[in-house]
């Protein structure tokens, strides 16, 4: 049985903002971003411990086609999405969410 995925409030806000930004750049690009992130989330849910640990117990999954990372941690009863993060941003921003 796969673990449920839960977004931290900040991670959901980042995801929503990125979707909106891409959609403003070109109609349909936000949907492409959504699709790529959904594929990453499916992979995380299927193989939660496959991605490398980058800080304490936070793992990093790379979003295809977009310069974004999904940072998450695996807990006994769920997977917590800590950030949906542009790869050029300062990683200190999400580390406090641990």
Q: If you average pLDDT over every residue of the chain, what do you get? A: 92
Quick check: pTM over 0.95? no
**pLDDT of residue 98 exceeding 60:** no
Helix count and strand count (H, E) for the chain: 3, 5
Q: Determine whether domain 5-96 maps to CATH 3.30.2310.20.
A: yes
Residue-by-residue DSSP string for 8-52: -HHHHHHHHHHHHHHHHHSTTHHHHHHHHHHHHHHHHHHSTTSSP
In this predicted model, what pLDDT tens digit does every residue of 35-47 receive, in sequence order? 999 999 999 999 9
Backbone angles phi, psi at 40, to 5 degrees: -65, -45
């Amino acid at each position: 049985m796969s673990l449920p995925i839960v977004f931290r409030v900040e991670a959901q806000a980042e995801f929503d903002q990125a979707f909106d930004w891409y959609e403003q750049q070109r109609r349909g690009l936000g949907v492409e971003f959504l699709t790529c992130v959904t594929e990453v989330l499916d992979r995380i849910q299927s193989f939660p411990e496959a991605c490398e640990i980058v800080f304490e117990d936070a793992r990093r999954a790379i979003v295809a086609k977009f310069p974004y990372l999904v940072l998450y941690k695996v807990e006994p009863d769920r997977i917590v999405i800590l950030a949906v993060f542009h790869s050029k941003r300062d990683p200190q921003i999400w580390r406090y969410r641990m």
